[in-house]
Amino acid sequence: MDPPTDQIQSELENFRKEWQAEVSARARNPSASQPRPPNQGIPSSTSSPSNRAPRRNEQLHKKSASRTHNQPEDEDDHHVQTRSFDDPEPGRIGDGRGLYDDESRGLRGKGKEPQSAIDFYEAAVEKENSGKLGDSLQLYRKAFRMDSRVDQLYKNKHFAAAWRAKPPPPAGQVNPSNAPATVPSTAHHSLDGPTLSVSDLIASFAGLAIQGSPPEVEGVPPPPCPIAELPDEILVHILRDVAVADVGDFVRLSRVCKRLAYLVAAEEQIWRRVCLGSEFGFGGMHYHFQQRVLWEPLDAAESEAEELAGDFAFVTMAEEEEKELAARRRAEQRATTDALLHDAYGSSWRHMFRRRPRVRFNGCYISTVNYIRPGQASGHQITWNSPVHIVTYYRYLRLFRDGTAISLLTTEEPAHVVHHLTKDLLRIHRGGAAPHLPSAVMGQALKGRWRLSGPLDGPDVDEGGATEGTASLADVEGTLFVETEGVGPKYMYRMDLLMRSAGKAARNNKLVWKGFWSYNKLTDDWAEFGLKNYKPFFFSRVKGYGIGT
Q: What is the pLDDT of residue 56?
A: 35
Residue 160 banded pLDDT, cuts 50, 70, 90:
confident
* Cα 429 to Cα 444: distance, rounded to the nearest angstrom: 9
> What does the mean pLDDT of the chain come to?
76
Q: 152 Cβ partners below 8 Å, 6+ apart? A: none
In the chain, where the domains are located: 54-163, 286-375+387-549
What is the share, in percent, of the chain residues with pLDDT greater than 70?
Answer: 68
Radius of gyration, CA atoms only, the chain: 30
Region 105-117: what's the mean pLDDT?
60
> Residue 318 carries which side chain, given as an amino acid letter?
A
**More reliable by pLDDT, 547 or 74:** 547
Q: What is the pLDDT of residue 399?
A: 96
Residue 464 half-sphere exposure toward CB, CA atoms < 13 A: 4
Q: What is the 3-state secondary structure (H, E, C) of 91-130?
A: CCHHHCCCCCCCCCCCCCCCCCCCCCHHHHHHHHHHHHHC
Q: SS3 of 71, please?
A: coil
CB atoms within 10 A of CB 398: 24
pLDDT at 42 over 50: no
Q: What is the pLDDT of residue 307?
A: 54
Q: What is the pLDDT of residue 437?
A: 79
**More reliable by pLDDT, 330 or 101:** 330
Beta bridge partners of 85: 542
Q: SS3 of 432, please?
A: coil
For 282-323, the pLDDT digits (tens) are 999 999 998 899 999 876 555 555 555 444 444 445 667 777
For 412-447, the pLDDT digits (tens) are 989 889 999 999 999 988 877 677 778 888 888 999
Q: Tell how far CA 482 is from the center of its chain.
A: 22
pLDDT at 275 over 90: yes
DSSP string computed for 399-430: E-TTSEEEEEEESS-GGGTGGG--HHHHHHHT
Please check whether residue 438 is in contact with residue 463, taking contact to mean a CB–CB distance below 8 angstroms.
no
